[in-house]
Structure 1
Amino acid sequence: MFQQNLVLRLALAIILFMHSIPGMFNGGINDFGNLYLNQIGFDPFGVYLAWAIKLSHVAAAILFIANKYIKWAAWPTLFILVVGIFMVHLEHGWFVVGGGQNGVEFNFLLIAVISHLLIEDKRSKLS
């Protein structure tokens, strides 16, 4: 059972870790909270919200690696990714690099991978 979707789960976990852990040590999370979230109306909670987002990514990564509580890891992460599309990426178009910058394509791919893991998790519990 642990082997199910192992490559996808590990790749997803690495991405979630790499989008979270460096910012914990280089000020990136605080900057995201102060310089973006607070500026768009989340003041004075922007930094707390930024930390909650990134800590949820770390927790989700651990759960995806362990192949446990996939639903609990997936739904908050999906919510964050979809909200991120509308709040940050959509105005930049589709492409992350090449034909554009900071677009939705990366979030779209992560949403597809997480959705696949949700479907497979449910399917494995039904059989």
Structure 2
Amino acid sequence: MIQQWYKTNPANLHRGMDIVRIGVALIILMHPLHGYTHLANIPKFGEFLTELGYPFGTALAWLVLLVQTSSSLALLANRFVVPACLGHIVVVCFGLIHVHSHYGWYVVGPGQGGMEWGFILLTSLLGVMWAYWPEKR
């Protein structure tokens, strides 16, 4: 029998969502791992946050790293997926607003450092969160 791969209904929703969930978790996990291996950059990140008007910049920088770490580990463990997505969504949105929006849309090509990669992460996180959102009964 010929497989009808062109049909619009997905056959493996869970496997597909697992790939997105794990991939996004690994991509975002690289940020705090870099921070932990380059501790001198954390106070600099804190100064940047303070310059933006946020109080307790260095503490907030540590909070961002801890949220990214715990949220990524939760996604990898397939536990607390909705709160983990929410944690990442907050961080990604702040990054898009305060850093990447100033560079335009493109990450490479017509521009550099823009929002497109963050937007892909954001939409992936929203999709994973929606897939794991509890149904009303």
TM-score for both structures, normalised by structure 2: 0.79
Which residue of 1 is the match for residue 81 of structure 2? 70
Give the ranges of 4+ consecutive aligned residues of structure 1 lying more than 3 Å apart after TM superposition: none
Say which one has the larger Rg: 2
Which residue of 2 is the match for residue 97 of structure 1? 108
Aligned 8 A contact 1:13 1:62 in 2: yes
Deviation at 1:85, TM superposition (A): 1.3
Deviation at 1:55, TM superposition (A): 0.9
Which residue of 2 is the match for residue 9 of structure 1? 21
Q: Which ranges of structure 2 fall in alignment gaps of 5 or more residues?
A: 1-13
Aligned 8 A contact 1:17 1:58 in 2: yes
Write the distance in 1 (CA, Å) between the matches of 2:43 and 2:27: 20
Aligned-partner residue type, residue 115 of structure 2 = V
The CA RMSD over aligned residues, in Å, is 2.1
Which residue of 1 is the match for residue 41 of structure 2? 28
Identity %: 28
Write the distance in 1 (CA, Å) between the matches of 2:78 and 2:97: 29
Write the distance in 2 (CA, Å) between the matches of 1:20 and 1:70: 19
Given the alignment, which residue of 79, 93, 98 partners 2:90?
A: 79
TM-score for both structures, normalised by structure 1: 0.85
Aligned-partner residue type, residue 93 of structure 1 = G
